Amino acid sequence: MTLALHVIRFVLLDIVGEILYWPVWWYTRGLWEALKWAGRGLRDEWGVLALTLWLRSMFTPMYADYSFAGRAISFVFRVLILGWRLMKFFIWVAWYAVGLALYAGLPAAAAYVLFSFFRQ
């Protein structure tokens, strides 16, 4: 095979093939990888905020004060702290949801803009 045929084969099969395969990859394997990335990020954030620990120790009195007042104060403060941490977690959930929506929607929006631009 001559060098010219190798170049033509490379251009047609590799470059054009990759350009045509890119949207398929973006919405299949790429989207799956983005979902796994978001899941790992949310799982890590759940651990950083120690939400399982706060939920598990919700009714355990702080400082071993087993009186009614000690239990009530512990419960109220744990509810406040847990609420604050859950709010921070849901901000992360919203952040990852926006990122995934942009990942899924931006190429489609760009294609729509390009096709509408060339259609006129």
The tens digit of pLDDT for each residue in 32-79 reads 999 999 999 999 999 999 999 999 999 888 888 899 999 999 999 999
Mean pLDDT of 94-119: 92
* pLDDT value at residue 118: 84
Is residue 26 a contact partner of residue 107, using CB atoms and an 8 Å limit? yes
pLDDT band, residue 19 (cuts 50/70/90): confident
74 in Cβ contact with 65 (< 8 Å):
yes
What pLDDT band is residue 6 in, cutting at 50, 70 and 90?
confident
Rounded CA separation 64/57 (Å): 12
Q: Which long-range contacts does 93-101 make (Cβ < 8 Å, 24+ apart)?
A: 93/42, 96/38, 96/41, 96/42, 97/38, 99/34, 99/38, 100/34, 100/35, 100/38
Residue 90 CB-half CA count within 13 A: 6
- Determine the pLDDT at residue 16: 83
Contacts of 22 (CB under 8 A, 6+ apart): none
Q: Summarize the confidence of residues 88-95 as an average pLDDT.
A: 98
